[in-house]
C-alpha cells in the first residue's frame, strides 16, 4: 500500500477541490481536498467538519489568529448576466 503524501501550505498558498474526508494523524488534521491530502491544525476540525461533501478553497495567510481561511465554492459555472438596456 502506498503512503499518502501530505501537503503543508505556505503563506498565501491555496488549495481547492471537492472536500471528501477529514481525518487526524500525528497531531494534525488531514483534509482530503480533491487529490490532495492537506495538513491542517487540529483546532480547525469543528469549523471544517460541516463542509465535508462540498467544493471548498482553503488558503493559508499570515494574519494573526486567522492563519487559515476557507470558503465554499459554487459547483455550477458562473454565468454572465446580460447588460441592462
Q: For residue range 56-77, what is the model confidence (pLDDT) as tens digits?
A: 999 999 999 999 999 999 756 5
Give the pLDDT confidence of 41-59 residue by residue, as tens digits: 999 999 999 999 999 999 9
Please tell me the distance from the alpha carbon of residue 36 to that of residue 57, in angstroms, as a whole number: 12
Q: Name which of 45, 61, 48 is nearest 13 in CA terms.
A: 61
Whether 51 is covered by a domain: the verdict is yes
Whether 63 is covered by a domain: the verdict is yes
Cell (9 digits) for 7: 501537503
What pLDDT sits at residue 26?
Answer: 87
Going by the DSSP 8-state scheme, the letter that residue 64 receives in this structure is: T
Domain around 39: 6-72
**What is the value of pTM for the model shown?**
0.78
What pLDDT sits at residue 70?
Answer: 93
pLDDT grade for 14, boundaries at 50, 70 and 90: very high
Domains identified in the chain, total number = 1
- Does 85 have pLDDT greater than 80? no
Asked if 31 and 68 touch (Cβ cutoff 8 Å), the reply is no
Whether 78 is covered by a domain: the verdict is no
Amino acid at each position: 500500500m502506498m503512503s499518502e503524501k501530505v501537503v503543508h501550505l505556505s503563506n498565501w498558498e491555496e488549495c481547492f477541490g471537492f472536500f471528501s474526508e477529514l481525518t487526524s494523524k500525528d497531531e494534525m488534521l488531514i483534509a482530503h481536498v480533491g487529490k490532495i491530502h492537506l495538513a491542517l491544525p487540529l483546532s480547525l476540525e469543528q469549523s471544517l467538519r460541516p463542509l465535508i461533501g462540498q467544493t471548498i478553497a482553503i488558503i493559508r495567510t499570515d494574519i494573526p489568529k486567522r492563519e487559515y481561511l476557507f470558503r465554499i465554492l459554487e459547483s455550477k459555472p458562473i454565468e454572465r448576466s446580460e447588460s441592462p438596456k
